[in-house]
Amino acid sequence: MVALVRNKNFSLLFIGSFVSHIGTAFYNFAVGWFILELTASPLIAGLYIATGAIVQVLMTPIAGVFVDRLHKVRILYVTDFIRGMTVLLGGGVIVLLSSTFIIPLLFVITIVLALNNAFFYPAVAAIRPDIVHRDRLNQANALFSFINSVQAIIGILLAGILYAFLGIELIFIINGLSFIISAISEMFIKTPHPKRSLDKHAATIVTDLKAGFAYIIQKQGLMTFMFAVLAINFAVMPIFANGFPYLFNIVLEKEAYHLSIAQATFSAGMLVGGLLVGVIGAKLIIAKSIRAGLTATVIGIAIIGFLMIGVSLDRLTYTTFLVLFLPTLFLTTFANVFLNVPFMTGLMRAVDDEVRGRVLAIMETLSGALIPIAIALAGVVLEFGSIGALVSGSMVLMLIPYYIMMFSRPSRVFLNSLT
């Protein structure tokens, strides 16, 4: 990893992402808790999360076309500047508004952020192979997993504390400034940028998107695997996005820092897993790692689900719940790193540079397409049902895509092709 740190371009990208991710952790945690506290409605909270996700999912394939054609570094710092100014202005305006208008404003802000996220994340994924040698790509992806973990640990823990004592306004300021600092860091990244024509006509964009889809379809087993990923995301995401906040805020009636400890534990598992994957590096066998990580993740989620149901029905004391819940959550996210990082590394190596941006964007869209619907439906379940109904349904649904990813012939062929 020392060689990566000495790589100036990678270090600038790493530092910028690190800072902005901490601010984002502040913002996402605090706003989600703030909406539940303001409205006491899991339905509105679910719709808020789903709105941003829908916008990002719809825009990401189109953004991927432009990522392949425009200068990736410019995409990074321009979108970070826009996100920073949007959050800072939103924080200033929210102080002046009554509670009636705060929720609509938060929806507007999340739409603007999602539009920029649709360009930013494919650009980050596509630029890494341009600045990192092929042999160190697995370590680079592990370090970015490290970023996601550390930002959540630091950001969420601080958000839980600062939200309780200083309110939502400070969270807006910290997040906005973090985006601007990230943009300044990214402006100094130097990468080769081949001259490509930028035809903005809709027909050309559609043609490029078709080429990206054709590339995915031609890779044997990739489409099957991606639809299985879509299904497992649909099943599992509501537990984390809807179930955790609802459990701690509404069912258990705890302060915000209780949820922040749980989410920080979630990220600590990713942190340790990312560091270990980074140390192992090229020695990791991608197909075996993905299978083992997927199996351990599914088992861990099932245990977490049973614990959530137990504490919600008063079958477990809160202390017993935490003693069992936090270590299980840590181990589950630790295992998940051995699924996600090798999978992304294998894809980055396999996809040609000319189509990498749009292919990764399309795949991100496919894998996340049903998440907004799942989150919105989970809000309805919690509004009119119970945490037990949500968690039970999620655990049953995740078994079908797990079987497809592990045992179907197309998925096996695809996994064995990754190097």
Domain regions of the chain by residue span: 9-190+199-417
Q: What is the pLDDT of residue 411?
A: 81
Q: What is the mean pLDDT of residues 381-392?
A: 92
Residues 6+ apart with CB under 8 A from 193: 71, 72, 73
Q: What is the mean pLDDT of the chain?
A: 82
Least confident piece of the model among 55-59, 185-189, 198-202, 207-211: 198-202
Return the top range by mean pLDDT from 19-23, 119-123, 209-213, 223-227.
Answer: 119-123
Cα gap 86→68, rounded to integer Å: 26
pLDDT class of 65 with cuts at 50, 70, 90 = confident
CA dist 419 and 417 (Å) reads 6
Residue 326 has pLDDT above 80, yes or no: yes
- Give me 183's structure tokens: 């943009």
What's the pLDDT score for residue 192? 63
Confidence of residue 327 (pLDDT cuts 50, 70, 90): very high
- Quote the percentage of the chain above a pLDDT of 90: 25
Distances (CA, A) of 287 to 319, 339, 340, 406: 39, 9, 11, 10
Between residues 377 and 146, the one the model is more confident about: 377
Is pLDDT above 80 for 117?
Answer: yes
Per-residue pLDDT of 8-64, as tens digits, reads 887 888 787 777 777 777 788 888 888 888 888 888 988 998 898 888 888 887 887
Which of 57-71, 308-322, 383-397 comes out lowest in average pLDDT? 57-71
- Cα–Cα distances in Å, from 263 out to 16, 107, 152, 158, 245? 23, 23, 7, 12, 10
For residue 177 the two structure tokens come to 């400034």
Task: Write down the CATH number for the domain with range 9-190+199-417.
Answer: 1.20.1250.20
- Give residue-wise pLDDT tens across range 250-271: 899 998 888 888 888 888 888 8
Measure the CA–CA gap between 355 and 67, rounded to whole angstroms: 9
User: Is residue 198 over pLDDT 80?
Assistant: no
Check residue 320 and give its pLDDT: 96
For residue 57, give the nearest of 400, 390, 370, 316 by alpha carbon: 370
